[in-house]
Amino acid sequence: MAAVLKHWRESATLLVVAKTSKLIPNGVNGGGLQLEGTGAEQSQYNYKMLMLKRSNKSKFMPNVYVFPGGIAEDADFSAEWLDLYRKFGESESKELFIYLTSAGTGPPMFSRTRDQEFQHIPSELAFRICAIRETFEESGVLIARSIEDKSHLNSDYPRKPVWGTSFSMETQVADEWRRRVEKNPLDFITMCRTLNVIPDVWSLSEWSNWLTPVTLSSTGKGARRRYDTAFFMCVVDHLPEAMHDNNETVDLKWIAPDTLLSEYSRSKGLLAPPQVYEVHRLLHFQLVEDLHRFNWDRALKHRVRQYFPVVVGCEDDFVIVYPGDELYPEELDRIGESPILTVKCSLEDLPKRYPSMNRMHMVVDGQQWVNTSAGDGQVIPDFERTFQQSLKPKL
């Protein structure tokens, strides 16, 4: 199979970010900015993210909110996609394939050699197709453009950010295709041909790459599932109609990053760990235009790094380290064969002895984070803003 390895499966996730309203001056608050709207709808951000709640029957991360996505299938690597993209346009497809790897070699899920039958299209394209397919299955949002629509893909591409295109269809038609695609991923190609559309992979940019960490429950009998997941971002200029599938997902919401984290701080467990990390990155961008431009420019210069959390023990506790941390191993044990890395140092003295940090410390009432750049051009999560917000009195 195209995306199945011995110790994990490869998958793709899509951050669908939708512009919602304009920010207006707020003279009452020292000339700051606030969103139009009242009550719970107020936010400091002019965009919302698509979030889905997993069913309590899910074998992986049940009852938590995640970005839409799922495991890659052989159909995502099919040679039939190559024919469809050539039908869309030789020059547009050529520019696309060049852009996908123009920033260099990506992490293992993109750069590893696959069986010959799955080498017809670049992995960078296959995982984008996977992210779009899974988003459609789970939410009904189809990031696709008409086969005749080549807007922003000529002289502007890829220098200017491409806004995503959400293809609309009647509810009954969408529901039928969602059922068919869920049962047979190859029907996603059939759907595109029937509707005369093509997955709008041009509008997807790399955001991050997460590999499920090794824990005591990750190996041996009863081991939990592990995934190597590509996170992509697509920015659209409106809120597309969406509905959860009542199967894998049981709830759906469009929500701003500050609102989501406010809910998370009250619920303690609303979000999966990678989502916590990534949403805190979004806090740096109040305007969706700034977020779009930042990640587009970053993706032109940098490939994402694989974020594989590693547990490090010190004399009186444990920390979790990420790429960019001074304690992050050069040789990674991705399957749990080696003992946990330990250092002869107390937790209190750890920052003094190892000051270059990208790590998390688990505490009784939450998580404490200290972060530096991982070296892939990404922003570091803004955990300080959430911490300061948690200190405000609850009214």
Interstrand relation of 366-370 and 341-342 (parallel, antiparallel or unpaired):
unpaired
pLDDT at 22 over 80: no
In this prediction the pTM is 0.89
Which phi and psi (to 5°) does residue 72 adopt?
A: -75, 145
Structure tokens at 146: 């008409």
Work out the average pLDDT over 221-233.
81
Q: How confident is the model at residue 59 (pLDDT cuts 50, 70, 90)?
A: low
Q: How confident is the model at residue 181 (pLDDT cuts 50, 70, 90)?
A: very high
> Each residue of 44-54: pLDDT tens digit?
899 999 999 88
Highest mean predicted confidence (pLDDT) among 90-104, 244-258, 287-301: 287-301
Closest among 271, 282, 269 to 365, alpha carbons compared: 269
Least confidently predicted of 150-154, 174-178, 295-299: 150-154
Least confidently predicted of 54-63, 118-127, 224-233, 276-285: 54-63
What is the 3 state secondary structure string of 15-52?
A: EEEEECCCEEEEHHHCCEEEECCCHHHCCCCCEEEEEE
| Amino acid of residue 186 | L
Other C-beta atoms lying within 10 Å of the C-beta of residue 318 = 14
Closest among 147, 145, 132, 146 to 178, alpha carbons compared: 132
Q: How far apart are CA 16 and CA 165, in angstroms?
A: 11
Strand ranges, E, within the chain: 9-19, 23-26, 32-35, 47-54, 65-66, 69-71, 144-146, 197-199, 205-211, 227-236, 249-255, 306-307, 310-313, 318-321, 341-342, 359-363, 366-370
The answer to whether the CB of 254 falls within 8 A of the CB of 49 is yes
pLDDT computed for residue 176 by the predictor: 97
Q: How far apart are CA 303 and CA 377, in angstroms?
A: 9
pLDDT at 41 over 70: no
Q: How confident is the model at residue 225 (pLDDT cuts 50, 70, 90)?
A: confident
User: Rounded to the nearest 10 degrees, what angle do helices 273-282 and 257-267 cross at?
Assistant: 140
Query: Could you give the residue range(s) of every CATH 3.90.79.10 domain in the chain?
Result: 9-304
CA-CA distances (angstroms) from residue 60 to 54, 148, 151, 367, 378? Answer: 9, 39, 39, 22, 27
Higher pLDDT, 223 or 235: 235
Cα–chain center distance at 83: 28
The answer to whether the CB of 200 falls within 8 A of the CB of 150 is no
pLDDT at 152 over 90: no
Work out the average pLDDT over 345-358.
91
Q: Mean pLDDT of all residues in the chain?
A: 86
Report whether CATH 1.10.10.10 matches the domain 9-304: no
User: Rounded to the nearest 10 degrees, what angle do helices 171-183 and 187-195 cross at?
Assistant: 150
| Amino acid of residue 228 | D
